[in-house]
Homo-oligomer: A and B are copies of this chain.
Amino acid sequence: MKQHTRTIPPADPEAYYTYLAERINRDLEEAVSEDFPESLYHPMNYVLAAQGKRLRPVLLIMSCESVGGTCESAYNAALAIEILHNFTLVHDDIMDNDDLRRGRETVHKRWNNNVAILAGDGLIALAYRFLLKTRSRDMRRIIRIFSEAIIKICEGQSIDKDMETASTVGLEDYLDMIQRKTSILLSISAEIGGIIGNGTPEAIETLSSFGLELGTAFQIQDDLLDIISEEAVIGKDLGSDLCNGKKTYPIILFIERASAKDKERIVNMFSTVRSNKKAVADFRTMLNSYNIISDVIQEVNRRIYKANEYLIKQKNDISVEYLLHLSEMVRTRTH
């Protein structure tokens, strides 16, 4: 066995986040213990070795700690959540025909669709393997929450694909979709952390609500970053949502507010080109002219504030400091 030097976790919230994310990154690189067949395990490893933000597992661990549990007790469930998240990325990338993810080729692009389907399926089972290593009196409940979240995520992705071909999408329907597709995983991360940490029923419910709101803010932020950040930073196709006909939060606002002429101009611009830097820049200018970028930023702030409020109200049962810092990191992220 390898010798691990035991590091003392830093006390500063930001340094602690970094410490956890790095530990998770290292352990995910070794999460797959098998190597045959290579056609299954190489792609699974490839996905897990991509260094990520690891927001969900950190949220799970900090939620557990916030109610008095330990990082160690939550750690395997945290890995499980991140592995499950990676399954969704692999299958979504097939469906969205995205070529890049975290600055590297997607699995279906590097190998093929069949390999990506199987790697995703394998990741689901691997996620359960790690989840099952958790010690908790409430295992059945944890596994049920985990399984129900997978169904919700499939619902969300199905609705998302339906919306691509829908002529119009309302903001409310869009928010319903991202709650299923994205927010749910942050919500159950916080919830499962609370359960493993033996939080009070009220604390667990609060953590779940906090995660849901944080997840929604996170996704709206993501929608915005798809338009206003650079490919080099985000590691995805520039404006890939736009080019895929995705009706994201800022795009729905644009469709609601823009003049018929401006809408037509945008539709023409993106129906023919993919990853055209000039087109994306022009679209940004137009979004600004309708105040959309500032309004979306405000919406993210509003939701982060609401998420924080849940915690603060429950601060007798929950140590809120690290979680509030986490939501602040989400709010101010640029990639």
Contacts and interface: CB of A to CB of B under 8 A. Distances in A.
A98 to B, nearest CB: 13
Given A37-B155, A139-B139, A147 B118 contact: no
Given A40-B154, A140-B132, A91 B147 contact: no
B132 A151 contact: no
Nearest to A139: B140
Interface string A21-44: 000000000000010110110000
A144 B132 contact: yes
Interface string A137-167: 0011001100110110011011101100000
A35 to B, nearest CB: 11
Contacts of A94: 113-114, 117
Given A91-B117, A95-B114, A39 B148 contact: no
A328 B121 CA distance: 33
Contacts of A158: 37, 39-40, 115, 118
Nearest to A151: B125
Nearest to A44: B154
Interface in A116-141: 117-118, 120-122, 124-126, 128-129, 132, 139-140
Contacts of A154: 40, 118, 121-122, 125
Contacts of A124: 121, 124, 150
Contacts of A162: 37, 39
A140 B155 CA distance: 27
Contacts of A120: 117, 121
Nearest to A129: B147
29 contacts: A34-B155, A36-B155, A37-B155, A37-B159, A37-B162, A39-B162, A40-B155, A91-B117, A91-B121, A94-B113, A95-B118, A113-B113, A115-B158, A117-B117, A117-B120, A118-B154, A118-B161, A120-B121, A121-B121, A121-B124, A121-B150, A122-B151, A124-B124, A125-B147, A126-B151, A128-B147, A129-B147, A139-B139, A139-B140
Interface of A: 34, 36-37, 39-40, 91, 94-95, 113-115, 117-118, 120-122, 124-126, 128-129, 132, 139-140, 143-144, 147-148, 150-151, 154-155, 157-159, 161-162
Given A122-B151, A125-B151, 19 more contacts: A34-B151, A36-B155, A37-B159, A39-B159, A91-B118, A117-B120, A118-B158, A118-B161, A120-B121, A122-B155, A124-B150, A125-B147, A125-B148, A125-B154, A128-B128, A128-B150, A129-B148, A132-B147, A139-B140
Q: Which 5 A-B pairs have the closest CB atoms?
A: A125-B150, A128-B147, A40-B158, A122-B154, A95-B114
